Every structure is written in structure tokens, then in C-alpha cells.
Amino acid sequence: MRRRVVFWVEEYFYNPNFIQKFLSFLLLPLSWIYCFCMYLRFKSKTAQDFGIDIISVGNLSVGGSGKTPLVTALASRYEDVAIVLRGYGRESRGLVVVSDGNKILCGVDKSGDEAMIYAHKLPNVKVIVSENRNDGVLKAKEIGAKILFLDDAYSKHDIKKLDILIDVESKNSSCLPSGPFRERLWKGKEAVVIRDGIDFKRVVELKNKSDKMSLVTAIARPQRLDSYLPEVVGKNYFEDHHSFVRDEVLNILKKDNAESVLVTYKDFVKLEQFGLPLSLLDLHVEVNEDILKIVDNYRRK
């Protein structure tokens, strides 16, 4: 049931049918109220300088945008780096140091899938999950970070930072609940807006290929993968941040008569513990030099 609701909401936000468009129209008054409240929240905040270079990468709408590979690409260029994120889908609460830049200190159940991706792909980077980003920033400074990346923190208007926003196309440009937008790019709020395919491009490498692969993925709007997919014998979509159990994946292998399960890295960090045959769609991004210079120039201020 939860999976069906999540997929319905994603369709409602990004590719609505007639009934969903009508519902969106009916909810417009609530969206106006919500958006006005978010504007008042923005105006009430004063950005605090934490004495460390902070770059936030995210998007204004709900759902996936490619921020994880983009943060990975940017963070890999520097030393003494920390990444702080909320840790969606984790079973823990509060502040958890996932990696101290030398070793991974917890499992994916306590870190969440996105934090574990960073810990795997950037072994020299400190990775911290915390619902309170301010606490995460202070912890990063305490353990020696000199530059910090915030995953999806545009709305943290009380933190002085460089905001990089990935522009996500949608047929519905309204705020919640009528549309997918959590906030607007407020007047007086500086941000660098970048576009997939223009300011950065995705590069996908297929690892451990088999002749009969079945796609299993738990990412937002999984149809985004279609243009990168090799031939597969089945497609199995789960809601974003879904916590897999071994038997459900094993049953998919049997149902699709597959030799391996094809996964993204976000799924891989949760499935590798099961000892099942995995093929990997390993995604990274190449960033336009102009964007890299913006980050470098921000550091020199």
C-alpha cells in the first residue's frame, strides 16, 4: 500500500493525469498559504557564520535530482572535507558520525543509504547524519573539517553558505500540497541554479554484468533510470529509501529467472550484505568547469 501511495504522489507531482491536475487545482489555496508561511520563515532567519566554508547542494522540489553524485564529485576535489545530511530512511535518531575519514563507524541501518554512499565512495571524507544541521556543522568542525558540504539544505536559512540548486523540470510548478515545490528561490536569497546535461552530465558504468539482469531499485522517480538501462528481464520499483529484506530480493531473482540483480549504488549499499549476485549501475557526474570555479572562488572569500 505504501509503495502505491508513494508512486501515485510522484506521478501527481511530476506527470499528473487529468484527475490529479484537477486535485492540484483544488489544493491551490493551501499551497498559497504554505508558500507564504515558508516565505515568512525565510524572512525570520539570520544566517550564522560558523567560521567554515559551507556549500549546500540540493533542489527546491521533493524527490530525486542527482544531488548525491554531484556532492560526491565536488567533495572529492578537496582535503579535510565533511558531508552533513539528514539521513533519510535510517533507523537511528540524532547525530551519528558515519565515517571519521579513516573508517566507516556504523551500518547502513544507522546511517541511511545516501550517507553510506558517501562513506563508500569518499573514504577520506567525514560523513555525519543529523536532523539538526547546525549540530552536524559544529561536529564536523570539532573533528577537523575545513570545508563542509550540506546535502539538501537550501531551507536552512540560518546557516551562512553557498547554495547550489539543481533545476528539476516539472509539469506542476506549485508549492506543496498542490505541487512538488518545498520553497521558492526567494528574492534576496542568492543561489547558483544549475541544470542536468548543461552544467553537469551523468556518466554511467555497468559493473559485474550478467546476461539476465533484473532491475531492483528504491530511488525517487525510478523511471529516470530508463535512458541508462541495459537490457533487463524485469523492472522492480520500490519506494524511495525502502529497507530491503533478503527474501524479497531472492524472490525477484526467481520470479524473473534472473542471474543477477541490477542496482544503483543507493540500492547496492543496502543489498550487498545479502550475498546475492549484484550488477551495478555506477553513476558519477562530470561538472562544468564554470561551476567548479564558483565553488573555488567562494572558498577564497
pLDDT tens per residue across span 221-232:
898 899 899 999
pLDDT cut 90: percent of the chain above it: 87
CA distance 226 to 232: 11
The structural domains of the chain, ordered by start, are 43-200+287-299 (3.40.50), 202-283 (3.40.50)
| Per-residue pLDDT at 301 | 57
Mean pLDDT, range 268-295, rounded to an integer: 96
Instruction: Check residue 172 and give its pLDDT.
Output: 84
pTM attached to this predicted model: 0.94
| 143/159 Cα distance (integer angstroms) | 19
pLDDT at position 285 over 70: yes
Spatial distance between the Cα atoms of 105 and 99, rounded to a whole number of angstroms = 6
Structure letter (DSSP) for residue 71: H
**Nearest CA among 101, 104, 88 for reference residue 266:** 88
Write phi, then psi, for 97 (nearest 5 degrees).
-85, 110
Count of CA atoms in the C-beta half-sphere (13 A) of 54: 28
Instruction: Tell me what the mean pLDDT of segment 88-111 comes to.
Output: 96
2 has a pLDDT exceeding 90 = no
Beta carbons of 70 and 287 less than 8 angstroms apart: yes
pLDDT at 300 over 70: no
Q: Is 118 helix (H, G, I), strand (E, B) or coil?
A: helix
In percent, the amount of the chain with pLDDT more than 70 equals 99
Alpha-carbon span 83 to 253, nearest angstrom: 35
Q: What is the mean pLDDT of residues 18-22?
A: 94
Question: Locate cell 509539469: which residue?
Answer: 171
